[in-house]
Amino acid sequence: MSMDQPANPGDNSARSIAPGRRPGKPATINDIARMAGVSKKTVSRVINRSQLVQQQTRERVEALIRDIGYVPDPMARALAFGKSFLVGLLYDSNAMQDIPLLQEGLVSGLRGSAFAAVLHGCDSRREDPISSIRQFIIQRRPHGVIFAPPLSDLPELGALAEELGCRHVRIQAEPVDASSSAMLTQDRSGAAEVADYLVSLGHRRIGFIAGPESLASARERSAGFLERLGLRGVQVADEHLVSADYGFDAALRGATRLLRDPSRPSAIFAASDEMAAAVLKAARTLGIDVPGEVSVVGFGDSAISRLLSPALTSVHSPLCEIAGQAVSMLIGGEADMDAVSSPRVVERESCRRL
């Protein structure tokens, strides 16, 4: 039963409304204090997980918080404590593929804490991202921020965050500077897993649609894939190597060229799921069966990989876990690296053994 509904005298599950609190109004810290018979400072200590509260009192306050659905207001708490309780996820709005997983990890990492999440997208094609980030930090004054890739590749971010006194963690494919805390995405090892997987299926004539060389993630995926193939005695022929921009249109043109080649590859690895979707589209247009005539692998294990037909084999990158540990670094001071799994190939319908 909702608190805002009238209580049924015969219903033992009905919850009382805090004295002085009007139905339909959000609960406040004062409501919790009155109902628990403690001071507002004690409630604040419970919320902030202070050790200065007796266990019995802590349990009573926490039960009330759960029962009436109290959610601390980060702006009000910032005024009261003279510090912010916001953690920001900053990203390039032109590269949205990974944001759902990062957002899930951010929210999961903050769950049960006194902090709230705020997202800020920078349009790097229309604005200076450094100026946009500066404005965001000055206006919102977050407790800390997480820089998502490829925004995190910008070397100026560390100096900017230090200048503004803002804690920060970069989620990135390779280290950028020594002053920044970083969580590495392990793109190289994920791409190496693809090489091992395709060779294990018997493929030797393999095509590769790489991402833009300007991005660290693309460089790491290319290096991991090509180096591991070389160690397995397999080389990608020059005519079977295509560079694109992680997007659909450029990858569609490249995939069409690969599939029209008289010695077309028996398998194609595309360095993003969106580019792999373009390979499936090109194959369908040319009447080439996937996986009967060509196997296809993507990278990211995004929602689209499960919705495509055939369902796409893809590299699952542990971005959700990584974002959760980045939150721990910002609000707890350290990360549990054992909580982050390694990238792995998730096998679906788009590949077959030769």
Domains detected in the chain: 1-71 (1.10.260.40), 81-186+320-339 (3.40.50.2300), 187-316 (3.40.50.2300)
Q: What percentage of residues in the chain have a pLDDT greater than 70?
A: 88
Q: How confident is the model at residue 9 (pLDDT cuts 50, 70, 90)?
A: very low
- Mean pLDDT, the chain, integer: 87
Rounded CA separation 301/297 (Å): 10
Rounded CA separation 98/221 (Å): 15
Q: How confident is the model at residue 42 (pLDDT cuts 50, 70, 90)?
A: confident
Span 202-220, average pLDDT? 96
Q: Which one, of 132, 143, 128, lies nearest residue 88 by Cα?
A: 143
C-alpha separations of 141 from 84, 102, 155, 162, 350 in Å: 6, 21, 21, 13, 46
Confidence at residue 138, expressed as pLDDT on a 0 to 100 scale? 92
Residue 333 pLDDT greater than 90, yes or no: no
Give me 145's structure tokens. 């921020």
Residue 20 pLDDT greater than 60, yes or no: no
In contact, 303 and 84? CB cutoff 8 Å = no
Residue 19 pLDDT greater than 80, yes or no: no
Residue 235 pLDDT greater than 80, yes or no: yes
Q: How confident is the model at residue 176 (pLDDT cuts 50, 70, 90)?
A: confident
Of 58-72, 286-300, 306-320, minimum mean pLDDT range: 58-72
Where b means 16+ CB within 10 Å and e means fewer, 286-300 reads eebebbeebbbbbbb
Confidence at residue 31, expressed as pLDDT on a 0 to 100 scale? 83
Span 62-84, average pLDDT? 67
Q: What's the pTM value of the predicted model, to 2 decimals?
A: 0.76
Of 68-82, 180-194, 244-258, 262-276, minimum mean pLDDT range: 68-82
Span 18-37, average pLDDT? 70
Q: Is 128 left (phi over 0), alpha (psi -120 to 50) or beta?
A: beta
Cα 280 from chain centre: 25
Higher pLDDT, 61 or 188: 188
